[in-house]
Amino acid sequence: YLLVICDMNQDKNTQVIYFVITGTLLAVVFFYFSRRILTPFFIAFALAYLLDPITDRLESLKISRTFAVFILMLGVFSLVIGTGLLIYPLLKLQAEHLIQNLPSYILIIQGWIQPLFGLVDEPEKIQGILNNELLKVGELPLKAVSSITSILWSSVTGMFSFILLLANLVIIPVAMFYLLRDYDLINQKILNFIPSRHREHVLNLLTEINEMLASFVRGQLMVGFLMAGLYSIGLFFCGTPMSLFIGIFAGLASLIPYLGLVLGFIPAAILTFMQTEDWLLVFGVAGVFAMVQALEGMIITPRIVGEKIGLHPVAIMLAVLLGAEFFGIVGIIISVPVVAAFNVVFTHGLKEYKSSSFYNS
């Protein structure tokens, strides 16, 4: 009789595992084919998740949640628009300045590699090809800064894309407002779908995931913006061309461990030397990155983020690349939090598996 009960429980657990795997695969397929339609809702949910603690704080001050959400959204969107209007002209100005100095940069690079031309056949042809490639590379910053305008313009060239763009501009704030206003109510309704016998266990798991994500996502965004500001200010005083662009890029790229350091320091050092031809300022750039990294490791991250999420840097890099490949910009945004949440679930599942009779028999 006991053997029959054990077999029935084992079959039931196997069915649950198959159901979860099948449901997960179907959800991934659905999200992939519906990604264009679901993108504004993902963005709205992400913003609601980030702003929910602030809304709860305002609500605790005897402010109605609806009014608190309205004030908070108005402030956030005003801040984003104001920051964009301030930063974009500065980025464009630095890019134009870089283009103006590009001929002198090309001459410097030619001086570095001129001795190598004597070692190959047809040096004039190779030099011409090199000049064309250097011109293309030099135009990249301006193209990067102007890409937002190009994307918007290409979006309005097709009627469907234009309608979808307008719909997204309306859907994101509207969906964000209702999600943020009813955030706690939605969570409670979702929790009521879980059987009461499993509710406490699932609630503990979701609480752990939420605490980890809250610490990482909200904290890492603050760390990224702080590092972007510190990089930009330090590179500006070092005379680095495109200091604002490199600083912002390096700060936000720090989501992936050490990626911001590598992708930021190399172009900053090269551009600084070509602009100033002063090795002392190049060492100053190295000092900026070393100091910001030291502040990030010893002060900023421990105080803001706390403990790390426990993911290997290679896993984070792979998650970001896969997210970008399948879901575009939304994939880049949600890839690391999704993998981090999956890591918590996997850790709990691994503990239960190791404590099961199947593992210990």
pLDDT band at 122 (very low <50, low <70, confident <90, very high): low
Q: Which amino acid is at 96?
A: E
pLDDT of residue 155: 45
pLDDT tens for each residue of 200-226: 777 887 787 777 777 677 777 788 888
Cα 277 from Cα 125, distance rounded (Å): 28
pLDDT band at 127 (very low <50, low <70, confident <90, very high): low
Cα 59 from Cα 180, distance rounded (Å): 12
CB–CB of 322/335 below 8 Å? Answer: yes
Q: Which residues contact 262 (CB under 8 A, 6 or more apart)?
A: none
CB–CB of 275/240 below 8 Å? Answer: yes
| Neighbour count for residue 264 (Cβ, 10 Å) | 26
pLDDT band at 97 (very low <50, low <70, confident <90, very high): confident
pLDDT of residue 156: 46
- Rank 7-16, 78-87, 128-137, 318-327 by mean pLDDT and report only the highest: 78-87
CA distances from 135 to 55, 94, 242, 358 (A): 50, 17, 16, 64
For range 110-134, the mean pLDDT: 60
For range 91-112, the mean pLDDT: 73
| Neighbour count for residue 104 (Cβ, 10 Å) | 11
pLDDT of residue 231: 92
Query: pTM of the prediction?
Result: 0.64
pLDDT of residue 257: 66
pLDDT tens for each residue of 225-237: 888 999 999 998 9
| Neighbour count for residue 260 (Cβ, 10 Å) | 26
pLDDT of residue 1: 46
Give the rounded percent of residues in the chain with a pLDDT score beyond 70.
Answer: 70
Cα 40 from Cα 175, distance rounded (Å): 8
pLDDT tens for each residue of 342-352: 877 777 777 77
pLDDT of residue 162: 54
pLDDT of residue 188: 82
CA distances from 317 to 215, 234, 259, 322, 336 (A): 20, 27, 9, 9, 9
pLDDT of residue 17: 64
Give the rounded percent of residues in the chain with a pLDDT score beyond 90.
Answer: 3
pLDDT tens for each residue of 167-188: 667 888 888 899 888 888 888 8
- What string of DSSP letters covers 221-239? HHHHHHHHHHHHHHHHHTT
pLDDT band at 357 (very low <50, low <70, confident <90, very high): low
For range 76-87, the mean pLDDT: 85
pLDDT tens for each residue of 133-168: 555 555 555 555 555 455 444 544 444 555 666 666
Cα 244 from Cα 95, distance rounded (Å): 10
Check pLDDT > 50 for residue 3: no
pLDDT of residue 287: 92
pLDDT tens for each residue of 253-281: 877 767 778 788 888 888 888 888 788 88
pLDDT of residue 137: 55
Check pLDDT > 50 for residue 4: no
For range 55-80, the mean pLDDT: 88
Q: Which residues contact 38 (CB under 8 A, 6 or more apart)?
A: 31
